[in-house]
Amino acid sequence: MEITETVSIHIDGKPYQAQTGRNLLEACLALGFDVPHFCWHPALGSVGACRQCAVKRFRDENDQGGEIIMACMTPVTPGLRISIHDPEVLRFRAAVIEWLMINHPHDCPVCDEGGECHLQDMTVMTGHTRREYRFRKRTHRNQYLGPFIHHEMNRCIQCYRCVRFYRNIAGGRDLNVFGAHDHVYFGRHQDGVLESEFSGNLVEICPTGTFTDKTQKAHNTRIWDLQTAPSICVHCGLGCNTLPGERYGQLRRVRNRYHHEINGYFLCDRGRFGYEFVNSDKRLRTPLYRPERNIAQREMRLEELFQQAVLRLKNPGTIMGIGSPRASLEANYALRSLVGPENFYAGVTADEHALLELARTILTQGPARAVSVQEAARSDAVLVLGEDLTQTAPLLALALGGLGYQKAVAQARKVQLPAWDDAAVRQFGQEAKPALFIATPQPTRLDQAARTCVRAAPHEIAALGLAVQAELSKDSAAAPEAPEALAPDIAQALAKSERPLIVTGTSLGSPAMVQAAADIARALCRLGKSVGLICCVPECNSMGLALLQAKNLSAAFQKASEGRVDTVIVLENDLYRRAPAQAVDAFLQKAGAVMVLDHLRTPTSLKADMVIPVATFAQTSGTLVNNEGRAQRFHAVFPADETIPEAFRLLVELKQAAFGQGRPHLRPVLEDQRLELSRAFPVFSGLAEPLPSLAQPAPGGKVPRQSMGYSGRTAIHAAVSVHEPKPPHDPDAPLAFSMEGYEGQPPPELITHYHAPGWNSVQALLKYQSIAGGPLKGGSYGRRLFLQAPAAQSDFFEKLPPAIDLKAAERLLVPLHHLFGSEELSMAAPAVAQLAPLPYLALNPEDPLAEEGREVLLTVAEQTLCLKVKVMPGLCRGVAGLPMGLAGIPVVALPAQVVLTKGDAT
């Protein structure tokens, strides 16, 4: 680790304390000085391009003249004497803005960045007010960059942040800088969809409106009119923190919410642009009812349907509850309370359930620690077993993609090259290859960052894992007969490292592989290593649901087939995405009545007898548990509609009405659910602790969700009444649907937007950190439910997966995952759906049937599919890849052996 010391520096004649190992710009910002800057960014480091952060340095106290230097390129050294406010340097900084403004179009009134534009802030900060350039501006043609990013090149101030992020951090290749002198152009070689899965971050990295959010643009909103609340991404299991913004009852964009240990400064494009399912026309907005099975559903008022539901629940007979990995802990728990623990089923199949149980066991019992995404980024040897991380846990892929740079930083430190000197570190360490090993059936986007990639079928990956484990613990009895050739290399790299990490996940459906990952971690622990383990899970609350210890969906099907179920309540779950259609059909047929609570119209809701639309994450609050076992709260961005209740509240009210329990005179609140939950399960005991400002209401009240600049609050309803409506009450969050309330910086968990005097852009975030890029002031948040793994000497699984004997016409069918396409909710967002592939079957080029576009037939789980072949170079031989979740791809348990035949002549 870097050794830093606190030294004394002088700024405009006064002494201050600063940390060595940092640059002067970071030090000045940390001390609260407003030093304008563009090309420097906490996640990108310094390159000295924009010349905006100029300050004056003096040799000693007698030096009157001084010299202008760039703060971002100057290390903090003891006794440094600088001036930020010297007239000459003030003039220089104003001149830099003046230069940047020469060609800037000044179209702030129609620019989506306006109001949160770093360029606006910096312009005001330098005091440049008068335009003296009297010649023509140069102009550029804009490019079509796909459904996510709007390009407005004339606004560009050439800070080079975009290409540095896109190429150096995201590993993209198709965005670059072209041309020279005052004609440099940032874009693609030609119009086209940006290839990177992280392109959305350009919106926040760009200090002005060159790259803006196209979905936000389509919604036509000014950013100060957005109502925002801290939220958690619902599109994968990592639990990235987000800040969705709402106006006129519509979500209009999602921005990153900085979490020092999870997503840092970045989001993936599914997380950023998947939000539009909330506005989708696939939303359920009216309650539906059919008194009998064979008639059509018809609309019904919520109150009426509620009464029907209560009547139904009062029937004698079993009520079964099916929970959901995409619903909050509180909603799942409320359902569990309503139906009773014995009748509550996790809404996932036996296979997936077993995998999640396995993940839970491994992570809770240790001895390896579950680590966060950002801790993973600091690992020095990583083995990825089976996961195509870019598609299933994108931010983890982004973190591991930076391992090479981390290695370069470590090497650079040895020659006294500071970590912030970005270009020099990259120059120096350009040949640093990180100890990243990836074993997957198919090529992955992360391969380019890896030292070695292995293409293998799931059971072979498990065998490789066991071989590595055997190599690490030579005395182990389970050493496979034919040791994998690569195992010694991998084992050696892991054993040599200081912070090894094993990454696996559920996406390949292979328990043996997850067990092998755990075995490697255990072997490393026995060697005395502090090893991290990450098990990726598919959905935002998969781990939370696993912790509720329910039975699985297959058991529910079994029970229904025995004819012992009167009513089934399905919570936010499309069973047709979980189990084969015939099984679900049979199950729904057997149930006396089916009640579906969901926000999207799904095949399951179409078959239901009662459909109650419920609020999405944007209009309710709750807790989600991410893959590392971190419970995080999300808060309603805007109030729930009167006719679309919040699921947890509706379930508690149903219980009160049907069984007279609880406190019927009071509106149910989230906090009660959390308290009950914490009492029912020891693992959730930490959740009883209320949020900081609920425990001690802060002076000034709740944290406002609306910005200081929020406009037109009376005008919105002026057609109805010119009186200002009372802000809706929120019993569940220490946040107000108002622009008034708590002033100043709220506790880190409750930041609704980044703002500081003079800092209106996302760059204001640095005012919430004690040092740029560091933790938020006030510390970490999100409760780790199983932080400390016990040191118990648990045993190895050491289960060799059964060998698979493929016959001539057979392939091993394995699941492939797509960032855009495999996830249910984001596919209701048009921009994401646009990028989803059509159904296909992936084959290795050497496969006899490998011919692009050829139709092949395969029969799996008693269904025959006809799919077009996609030739996938690098795909493991003998394997066929089936993309999961796409329309037309049925639910099947994979991996499975299948016979492929040519389709009819087409």
Partner 1 sequence: MNRPLTKNFQSLGPPLSLAEYEKAGGYQAMRRALTAMEPGQVTALVNAANLRGRGGAGFPTARKWSFVPMGKDAPRPRYLTVNADEMEPAAFKDRVLLEGDPHQLIEGIIIAAFAIQAEIAYIFIRQCYTTAFRRLNTAIAEAYAKGYLGRNILGTDFHLALHLHESAGRYICGEETALLNALEGRRPVPRAKPPFPPVIGLWGKPTVTNNAETICNVPHIIQNGPDWYRALSLTPDGGTKIYGVSGKVVKPGAWELPLGVSMREVIEEHAGGLRPEVKLRAVLPGGASTALLPPDHLDIKMDFNSMQAAGSRLGTGTLVVIDDKTCIVGLVLNLLNFFARESCGWCTPCREGLPWIVKLLKAIENGDGRPEDLTRLKEQPRLMAPGHTFCPLAPGAMEPLQSALTYFEDDFKRHIQEKRCPWK
Tell me which residues touch partner 1 (CB under 8 A).
Answer: 47-52, 54, 67-69, 73, 91-92, 95-96, 99-100, 102-103, 132-133, 135, 158, 160, 177, 179-184, 415, 417, 421, 423-424, 427-431
What kind and span of H or E run contains 533? Answer: strand 532-536
Distance of CA 744 to the CA centre of its chain: 27
| 179 torsion bin: left (phi>0), alpha (psi -120 to 50), beta (else) | left
| Least Å from the CB of residue 188 to partner 1 | 16
Cβ proximity to partner 1, 53 vs 884, nearer residue: 53
Amino acid at 578: R
| Least Å from the CB of residue 54 to partner 1 | 7
| Least Å from the CB of residue 159 to partner 1 | 9
Cβ proximity to partner 1, 52 vs 632, nearer residue: 52
Pairing of strands 298-299, 610-613: unpaired
Nearest to 143 by CA among 196, 194, 218: 194
| Least Å from the CB of residue 136 to partner 1 | 9
Cβ proximity to partner 1, 427 vs 770, nearer residue: 427
175 neighbors 186 (Cβ within 8 angstroms) = yes
| Least Å from the CB of residue 181 to partner 1 | 4
Give the gyration radius of the chain's Cα atoms. 28
| Least Å from the CB of residue 154 to partner 1 | 14
Cβ proximity to partner 1, 74 vs 442, nearer residue: 74
DSSP 679-735: HH-GGGGGGGSPPHHHHSPPTT-SEESB-TT---TTGGGTTT-SSPPPPPP-SSSSE
Cβ proximity to partner 1, 76 vs 654, nearer residue: 76
Longest dimension (CA), the chain: 94
Structure tokens at 624: 């989600």
Structure tokens at 759: 């800092």
195 neighbors 85 (Cβ within 8 angstroms) = no
| Least Å from the CB of residue 868 to partner 1 | 39
| Least Å from the CB of residue 402 to partner 1 | 18
| Least Å from the CB of residue 185 to partner 1 | 9
Cβ proximity to partner 1, 431 vs 481, nearer residue: 431
Cβ proximity to partner 1, 416 vs 864, nearer residue: 416
Q: How far apart are CA 372 and CA 392, in angstroms?
A: 16
Q: How far apart are CA 107 and CA 539, in angstroms?
A: 41
CA within 13 Å, CB half, 421: 20
Cβ proximity to partner 1, 88 vs 851, nearer residue: 88
**Residue 282 φ/ψ, nearest 5 degrees:** -85, 0
- 666 by Cβ neighbours in 10 Å (0-12 / 13-18 / 19+) ranks as exposed
Cβ proximity to partner 1, 112 vs 421, nearer residue: 421
Q: Which residues pair with 900 in a beta bridge?
A: 858
103 neighbors 154 (Cβ within 8 angstroms) = yes
| Least Å from the CB of residue 55 to partner 1 | 12
Cβ proximity to partner 1, 77 vs 582, nearer residue: 77
Cβ proximity to partner 1, 55 vs 570, nearer residue: 55
Q: How many residues does the chain have?
A: 906
Between the CA of residue 473 and those of 324, 367, 500, what are the distances in Å? 40, 15, 16
CB atoms within 10 A of CB 664: 13
Structure tokens at 320: 């079964």
| Least Å from the CB of residue 184 to partner 1 | 4
